[in-house]
């Protein structure tokens, strides 16, 4: 915890305690707790995991093991906008590979990476149940389907970081 | 209660919303209001109508006219012509005016037969009143007042209902195991972790008619003596989580969940458990581990969940579609139900054809319908005038079948439908590319717990990568076949056991295509990038 200044830790600890109290102080609430932590803090930090373990009376290894097992729980900071591209067979067959290349071209990063300005994280994921409109992506909670390579720049446009409050 | 002369249902399923259904709905409301019709016409949001290829879509009642591919620009015309003047806007009417929703049970074999999906696109999924108006919770009332728990189990067994998640275990028998198991605490778990690529039927049920699942679960609780239920919904299905949670809250308010349900003395409540992104949690024991707060790792069976399930207690785990069938069986009787379908596969099955078909979507047909009826009759056949090549049945863990299977019947006696996905390939698709992609999926989703699956999926991808890069050899085919067999025999759970099934089923069917990749180093479909340097690939 060397990198963490004490002020942030106090805040983080208080947040964890509040969430643990809300979800219930038992180990079977671990996944709901992780969901909530991520919602309020953006990701689940090592410090937060240690505090959760202490609060629930379980090992840090168990919290860490569970948190890192699931793809929707982030244990590292991610971009402001998360682009999820499905690459399971229904989307793959309808050309998700070309969509991947178009996204990479538009934002300059490969799947698994985050842009240097912290605006985008790009990842490939397994089926999101959008097979009827393949190929599909999700950006944060928004779904986009029946994608074509040409549609990508205009979809991404509204997620680009803006230089003014109103948006450019 | 206000009386409206017409209702307009707006398909607000995920597919429709992303194609602008919300804008269509808003324009519709504004347009109706601006013409002073808002006291006469009600706009209702509903679950997906099952027209994924033709959304946004709306249905105007009482006429039951479906308009497909509706844009914001079309709205004034629909309001002006249809609602004001009573003339249909023919250019937008879906498929010659055949309403896509609610086709009467017992219609011709080639048509859709909606039992589980009968309310989808008809009722407002957020309204319990509309569900009740469509005979909702009648089955629960019948079970609680006129049947003993033993009667319910006997009825379920007599109906012949088998699980719809893919494995097809008899539901009544499963319930009986749990009912007879010792224990004060028992659980009902609904497996709504629909993660098998190509499947999106459970999502439609949860988004369009969530009370059906709740009703099925309460009946299961009554039959087995369970007090607590969980609906495990995958984290990606946010709309499903929202609609199901809302339905549970309303049902609880009305005394259909909680203490002393319908005055019967039955105590049962349900909680939604939101998954966190792991395909393996669709496997029942991994799902239980996940609810308990652990990594989603499968457990060795036996003991099986009906006797040793959640927290070690007797637990019924049923798929969404399975539970949604329950109220219909209780209301209409096992006799009625067992007359639908074939000798060994009773009732209807929901299919989700996708891929290279004209109208991907969700269709419900009696078991025993042919593959051709679903793919060509309902999904409109192959799009863009191309030729049919193959179908991956049920998803990556299913078998690949070719043209000669089109007239086979979808039932356990003939062609096993799995969970219902039909991933359709046209002639331009490459089988090696598909199989390689399936292998990548399993590699990504293997939980890593057992060696055959963790290592096997890795080696499988490695082999297929070589083949798709022009570095395969004919001996590799036998090697991959052996690997798939070993994984099937030694993996701990279904994930590894089924990871090689699609590949094995495709060898004899598409031998030429494999040999073209392996011996001639060419991809007949021109999909694989065959000209990588051999040393580089196999290093």
What confidence tens digit (pLDDT) does each residue in A54-75 have?
A: 999 999 999 999 999 999 999 9
Full domain range(s) for residue B510: 431-538
* Confidence band for B103, pLDDT divided at 50, 70 and 90: very low
* Helices and strands, number each (H, E), in chain B: 20, 14
In tens, the pLDDT along B314-365 reads 999 999 999 999 999 999 999 999 999 999 999 999 999 999 999 888 999 9
Could you tell me which residues come within 8 angstroms of residue A25 by beta carbon, excluding any fewer than 6 positions away?
A: A55, A56
Q: Same domain for B317 and B176?
A: yes
DSSP label at residue B415: B
Q: Same domain for B206 and B309?
A: yes
User: Closest approach of chain B CAs to the CA of A154, in angstroms?
Assistant: 15
- pLDDT the model gives residue B107: 33
Phi, psi for A122 (deg, rounded to 5): -120, 125
* Confidence band for A127, pLDDT divided at 50, 70 and 90: very high
Q: Same domain for B16 and B82?
A: yes
Find out if CATH 1.20.120 is the number for domain A6-69. no
CATH 1.10.10 residue ranges for chain A: 6-69
Residues of B in contact with A31 (CB under 8 A): 273-276, 290-291, 293
Q: Same domain for B259 and B295?
A: yes
Q: Judge: B15–A132 Cβ closer than 8 Å, yes or no.
A: yes
In tens, the pLDDT along B119-134 reads 988 888 889 999 999 9
In tens, the pLDDT along B356-389 reads 999 888 999 999 999 999 999 889 899 989 999 9
Q: Same domain for B37 and B169?
A: no
Asked if A140 reaches chain B (Cβ–Cβ under 8 Å), the answer is no
Could you tell me which residues come within 8 angstroms of residue B199 by beta carbon, excluding any fewer than 6 positions away?
A: A127, A129, A131, B352, B394, B395, B419, B420, B421
* Confidence band for B84, pLDDT divided at 50, 70 and 90: confident
pTM attached to this predicted model: 0.88
Of B313, B336, B359, the residue at which a domain comes to its end is: B336
B506, part of any domain:
yes
Q: Same domain for B170 and B271?
A: yes
Q: What is the mean pLDDT of residues B504-514?
A: 96
Residue B455 corresponds to which tokens in the numbers above? 């290592």
Residues of A in contact with B52 (CB under 8 A): 132-133
In tens, the pLDDT along B184-237 reads 999 999 999 999 999 999 999 999 999 999 999 999 999 999 999 999 999 999
DSSP output for B42-111: EEEEES--S-GGG-S-EEEETTTEEE-S--GGGHHHIIIIIIIT----GGGBGGGG--SS-PPTT--TTS
B341, part of any domain:
no
B105, part of any domain:
no
Residue B111 corresponds to which tokens in the numbers above? 């048509």
Is the pLDDT assigned to residue B539 strictly greater than 60? yes
Is the CB of residue A143 less than 8 Å from the CB of residue A136? yes
Residues of A in contact with B276 (CB under 8 A): 31, 34-35, 70-73
Q: Name the one residue in this structure whose structure tokens are 């570095």.
A: B471
Q: Same domain for B303 and B370?
A: no
Residue B172 corresponds to which tokens in the numbers above? 């009544």
Q: How far is CA B47 from CA A26, A81, A101, B12, in A?
A: 36, 28, 33, 5
Residue B74, domain CATH: 3.40.30.10
Q: Same domain for B332 and B366?
A: no
Asked if B194 reaches chain A (Cβ–Cβ under 8 Å), the answer is yes
Residues of B in contact with A146 (CB under 8 A): 19
* Confidence band for A8, pLDDT divided at 50, 70 and 90: low
B286, part of any domain:
yes
Averaged pLDDT score across all residues of chain B: 91
Residues of A in contact with B199 (CB under 8 A): 127, 129, 131
B111, part of any domain:
no
**Number of domain units in chain B:** 4
DSSP output for B440-473: HHHHHH--S-SHHHHHHHHHHHHHHHHHHTT---
Among the partner residues B361, B423, B444, nearest to A89 by beta-carbon distance? B423
Is the CB of residue B434 less than 8 Å from the CB of residue A90? no
Residue B30 corresponds to which tokens in the numbers above? 């504004």
How crowded is residue B435: how many other Cβ atoms within 10 Å of its Cβ? 28
Is the CB of residue B386 less than 8 Å from the CB of residue B370? no
CA A4 – CA A54 distance, rounded (Å): 18
Of B402, B426, B450, the residue at which a domain comes to its end is: B426
Q: Same domain for B436 and B330?
A: no
Q: Same domain for B82 and B54?
A: yes
Residue B94: is it exposed, middle or buried by C-beta count within 10 angstroms (0-12/13-18/19+)? buried
Which A residues 53-92 touch B at CB under 8 Å?
62, 65-66, 69-73, 87-90, 92
Q: Name the one residue in this structure whose structure tokens are 């089109």.
A: B406
- pLDDT the model gives residue A4: 52
Of B97, B118, B146, the residue at which a domain comes to its end is: B97
Is the pLDDT assigned to residue B177 strictly greater than 90? yes
Q: Same domain for B310 and B413?
A: no
ipTM of the complex: 0.92
Distance of CA A22 to the CA centre of its chain: 23
- pLDDT the model gives residue B458: 97
- pLDDT the model gives residue B523: 96
In tens, the pLDDT along B123-173 reads 888 899 999 999 999 999 999 999 999 999 999 999 999 999 988 999 999
As a whole-number percent, the residues of chain B with pLDDT over 90 amount to 76
Residues of A in contact with B448 (CB under 8 A): none
Q: How many residues does chain B have?
A: 539
Q: Same domain for B273 and B405?
A: no
Asked if B398 reaches chain A (Cβ–Cβ under 8 Å), the answer is no
Asked if B363 reaches chain A (Cβ–Cβ under 8 Å), the answer is no
Among the partner residues A35, A65, A127, nearest to B276 by beta-carbon distance? A35
B185, part of any domain:
yes
DSSP label at residue B304: P
CA A83 – CA A12 distance, rounded (Å): 27
- Specify the CATH superfamily of domain A81-157: Glutaredoxin (3.40.30.10)
* Cα atoms in the Cβ-side hemisphere of radius 13 Å centred on A158: 6
- pLDDT the model gives residue B34: 87
Residue B139 corresponds to which tokens in the numbers above? 């089955």
Burial B335-354, CB ≥16 within 10 A → b, else e:
ebbbebbbeebbbbbbbbbb
Closest C-alpha among B101, B133, B131, B130 to residue B118: B101
B61, part of any domain:
yes
Asked if A31 reaches chain B (Cβ–Cβ under 8 Å), the answer is yes
Closest C-alpha among B519, B502, B518, B512 to residue B468: B518
The residue in chain A having the minimum alpha-carbon distance to the alpha carbon of residue B235 is: A72
- pLDDT the model gives residue A6: 53
Residue B456, domain CATH: 1.20.1440.230
Asked if B47 reaches chain A (Cβ–Cβ under 8 Å), the answer is no
User: Closest approach of chain A CAs to the CA of B501, in angstroms?
Assistant: 15
Q: Judge: B355–A62 Cβ closer than 8 Å, yes or no.
A: no
């Amino acid at each position: 915890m060397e990198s963490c200044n004490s002020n942030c830790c106090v805040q983080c600890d208080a947040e964890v305690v509040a969430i643990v109290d809300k979800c219930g102080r038992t180990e079977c609430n671990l996944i709901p707790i992780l969901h909530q932590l991520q919602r309020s803090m953006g990701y689940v930090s090592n410090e937060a995991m240690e505090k959760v373990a202490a609060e629930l009376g379980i090992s840090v290894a168990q919290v860490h093991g569970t948190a890192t097992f699931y793809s929707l729980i982030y244990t590292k900071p991610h971009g402001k906008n998360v682009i999820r591209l499905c690459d399971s067979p229904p989307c793959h067959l309808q050309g998700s590979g070309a969509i991947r290349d178009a996204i990479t071209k538009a934002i300059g990063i490969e799947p698994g990476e985050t842009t240097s300005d912290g605006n985008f994280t790009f990842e490939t994921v397994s089926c999101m149940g959008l097979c009827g409109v393949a190929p599909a992506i999700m950006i944060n909670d928004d779904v986009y389907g029946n994608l074509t390579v040409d549609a990508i720049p205009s979809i991404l446009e509204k997620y680009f970081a803006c230089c003014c409050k109103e948006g450019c | 209660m206000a009386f409206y002369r017409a209702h307009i249902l707006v398909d607000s399923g995920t597919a429709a919303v992303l194609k602008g259904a919300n804008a269509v709905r808003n324009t519709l409301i504004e347009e109706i209001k601006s013409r002073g019709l808002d006291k006469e016409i009600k706009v209702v949001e509903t679950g997906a109508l099952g027209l994924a290829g033709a959304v946004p879509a709306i249905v105007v009642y009482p006429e039951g006219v479906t308009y497909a591919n509706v844009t914001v620009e079309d709205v004034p015309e629909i309001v002006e012509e249809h609602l004001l003047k009573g003339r249909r806007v023919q250019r937008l009417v879906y498929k010659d005016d055949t309403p896509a929703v609610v086709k009467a049970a017992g219609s011709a074999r080639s048509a859709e037969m909606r039992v589980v999906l009968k309310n989808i696109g008809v009722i407002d999924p957020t309204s319990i009143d509309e569900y009740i108006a469509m005979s909702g919770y009648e089955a629960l009332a019948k079970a609680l007042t006129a049947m003993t728990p033993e009667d319910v189990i006997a009825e379920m067994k007599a109906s012949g209902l088998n699980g719809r998640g893919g494995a097809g275990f008899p539901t009544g028998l499963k319930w009986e195991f749990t009912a007879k198991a010792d224990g004060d605490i028992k659980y009902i778990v609904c497996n709504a972790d629909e993660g098998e690529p190509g499947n999106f039927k459970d999502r439609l049920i949860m988004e369009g008619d969530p009370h059906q699942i709740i009703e099925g679960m309460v009946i299961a609780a009554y039959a087995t003596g369970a007090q607590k239920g969980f609906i495990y919904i995958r984290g990606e299905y946010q709309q499903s989580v929202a609609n199901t949670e809302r339905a549970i809250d309303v049902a609880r308010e009305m005394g259909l969940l909680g203490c002393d349900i319908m005055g019967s003395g039955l105590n049962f409540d349900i909680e939604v458990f939101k998954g966190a992104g792991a395909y393996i949690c669709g496997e029942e024991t991994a799902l239980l581990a996940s609810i308990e707060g652990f990594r989603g790792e499968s457990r060795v069976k036996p003991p099986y969940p009906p006797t040793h399930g959640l927290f070690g207690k007797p637990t019924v785990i049923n798929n969404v579609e399975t539970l949604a069938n329950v109220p219909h069986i209780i209301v209409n009787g096992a006799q009625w139900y067992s007359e639908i379908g074939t000798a060994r596969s009773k009732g209807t099955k929901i299919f989700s054809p996708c891929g290279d078909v004209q109208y991907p979507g969700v269709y419900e047909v009696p078991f025993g319908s042919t593959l051709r009826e679903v793919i060509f009759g309902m999904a409109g056949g192959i799009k863009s005038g191309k030729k049919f090549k193959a179908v991956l049945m049920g998803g990556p863990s299913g078998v690949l079948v070719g043209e000669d299977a089109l007239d086979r019947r979808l039932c356990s006696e003939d062609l096993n439908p799995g969970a219902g996905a039909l991933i359709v390939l046209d002639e331009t698709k490459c089988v090696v590319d598909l199989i390689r992609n399936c292998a990548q999926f399993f590699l990504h989703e293997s939980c890593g717990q057992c060696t055959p699956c963790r290592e096997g999926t890795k080696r499988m991808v490695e082999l297929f990568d070589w083949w798709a890069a022009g570095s395969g050899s004919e001996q590799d085919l036998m090697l991959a076949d052996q690997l798939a067999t070993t994984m099937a025999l030694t993996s701990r759970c279904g994930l590894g056991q089924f990871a090689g099934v699609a590949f094995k089923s495709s060898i004899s069917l598409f031998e030429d295509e494999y040999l073209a990749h392996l011996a001639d180093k060419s991809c007949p479909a021109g999909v694989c990038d065959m000209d990588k340097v051999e040393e580089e690939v196999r290093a």
